[in-house]
Amino acid sequence: MSRADLSSQTCTIARAVALVGDEWTFMILREMFLGHRRFDDFLRQTGMSSHLLSQRLKKLVAEGVICREAYSERPPRHEYRLTAMGRGLWPVVIAMKQWGDRWLGGGETPVEIVHKGCGRVSQPRMTCPECGEPMAAHDAAPRLSETFDKERQAARRQP
């Protein structure tokens, strides 16, 4: 199975990964959450090749994660912005940042997050909205839907 086929799976993680789960797409998203919008900025700040950047931007536009807008008619100039769908990826990028800071950072934190609501530097964390407690891996038990469970049982029995 190729990476592209992940998008047709039942699992929503697989679908999400097919769309935004590659290295350079993450780097583009990082730039967007840092406020950048232009092709050349993405190019210079990520270090990716222009060919790939072009491909990734097209894919993200086609899927509705970002949109392409003219900010000047003459000369014709365009920029890319996150849509609501794209802004929804903030927790993913932040979770990745927190993990990188904790396990790969060597004590330094290149980017801090200021919570506009309370004005403080914040290290956002996953919390259960039902009881308000913070959640980590050992606090959670996955429960598969019947359909999905059957699908996976079938996969187990494959050669």
Site for a copy of itself in 25-54 (CB under 8 A): 26-27, 30, 33-35, 41, 44-45, 47-48
CA 45, 49, 55, 59 torsion: positive or negative?
A: negative
Among the residue ranges 54-62, 72-80, 126-134, the one whose residues contact a copy of itself (CB under 8 A): 126-134
The number of C-alpha atoms within 13 Å of 48 and in the hemisphere containing its C-beta is 22
Instruction: Report the run of H or E that residue 71 belongs to, with start and end.
Output: strand 66-72
Q: Residue 139 corresponds to which tokens in the numbers above?
A: 């606090």
Binding residue for a copy of itself (CB under 8 A) from 55, 78, 81, 99? 99
* Amino acid present at 123: Q
- Collapsing DSSP to helix, strand or coil, 122 comes out as strand
Q: Is residue 81 at the binding interface for a copy of itself, with CB under 8 A as the rule? A: no
Q: Which is nearer to a copy of itself, 77 or 114 (CB)?
A: 114
**Which residue's structure tokens are 């964390």?**
125
Choose among a copy of itself, DNA, none what residue 75 binds, the Cβ cut-off being 5 to 8 Å by kind: DNA
Q: Is residue 99 at the binding interface for DNA, with CB under 7 A as the rule? A: no
How many Cβ atoms from other residues are within 10 Å of residue 100's Cβ?
13
Q: Which residues are at the interface with DNA (CB under 7 A)?
A: 1-4, 22, 24, 38-41, 47-52, 54-55, 57, 68, 71, 74-80
